[in-house]
Structure 1
Amino acid sequence: MYYEIRRYQAQPGRRAEWVRYMEDVVIPFQTSLGMDVTASFVDAQGEDGYVWIRRFEDETQSEALHAAVYQHDRWKNEIGPVVHSLLLPEKSVVTRVLPTSASPLR
């Protein structure tokens, strides 16, 4: 099992709009296709920062879920364009992490 920590930067002054879109559209859409979204945060130190975490059992599941979400017509034609308009894509950072043996997330 592993987690993706995804750090995004909203367009200046648009974080509240981004969070609403994530909570109302992106997260429900992704979870409806099987994605395990474990957490969603606003950055307490950066006014336009946002962080969310997704969990995967293994690489096979990750690849299948990524394809299900990002190749879906709704993502390509509706959701993806809005996401790209609300974020600064060049500031996105995705980190894959593994829980340690003492982690309650194992």
Structure 2
Amino acid sequence: MAIQLRRYQFAPGTLAEFLPYFPTRAVPLRASYGFSVVFAYADHVNEQFVWAVEYPGTADELRAREAEYLADPEWSAQIEPVIGGIVSDLSEVIDQVWPPQAA
């Protein structure tokens, strides 16, 4: 199982425009590629959106599947137009350190 943490910084006043599209467009399309959203938080004061996705494979498999997701015509038609307010996007596969995982 691999988890990717994603952090978006939005231009002032644009986070609120993005929020309605996340559960109706991004989450279902991600799910169709085998991803599940672990959590999603909006920091309205700082115009930031932080979320994590989980994929039932290795980190390399997650990255490969994400490349397929981003190449999907539905992504460019339905999601790309609503992410214009993002001024920076940081994402990386992360490791769980707490609570400890069972061996």
Give the structure-1-normalised TM-score.
Answer: 0.77
CA distance in structure 2 between the partners assigned to 1:101 and 1:15 by the alignment: 30
Aligned letter for 1:48? E
CA separation of 1:5 and 1:24: change in aligned 2, threshold 3 A: same
Report percent identity of matched pairs.
23
Give the structure-2-normalised TM-score.
Answer: 0.79
Asked whether the equivalents of residues 30 and 69 of structure 1 are also in contact (C-alpha less than 8 Å), the reply is: yes
Q: Greater share of strand residues, 1 or 2?
A: 2
What is residue 51 of structure 1 aligned with on the other side?
50
CA separation of 1:61 and 1:95: change in aligned 2, threshold 3 A: closer
Q: Greater share of helix residues, 1 or 2?
A: 1
What is residue 12 of structure 1 aligned with on the other side?
12
**Number of aligned residue pairs:** 102
List gaps (5 residues or longer) in structure 1.
none
* RMSD, aligned α-carbons: 2.5
Asked whether the equivalents of residues 11 and 85 of structure 2 are also in contact (C-alpha less than 8 Å), the reply is: yes
Q: How does 1:1-106 map to 2 (within 5 A)?
A: 1-43=1-43, 46-56=45-55, 57-83=57-83, 85-88=84-87, 91-100=88-97, 102-103=99-100
Moved over 6 A (4+): none
Secondary structure of the structure 2 residue equivalent to 1:100: coil
Measured against aligned partners, the alpha-carbon deviations of 1:27-71 in whole angstroms (never above 9, x if no partner) come to 121112211211110126x43111000113303431342133111
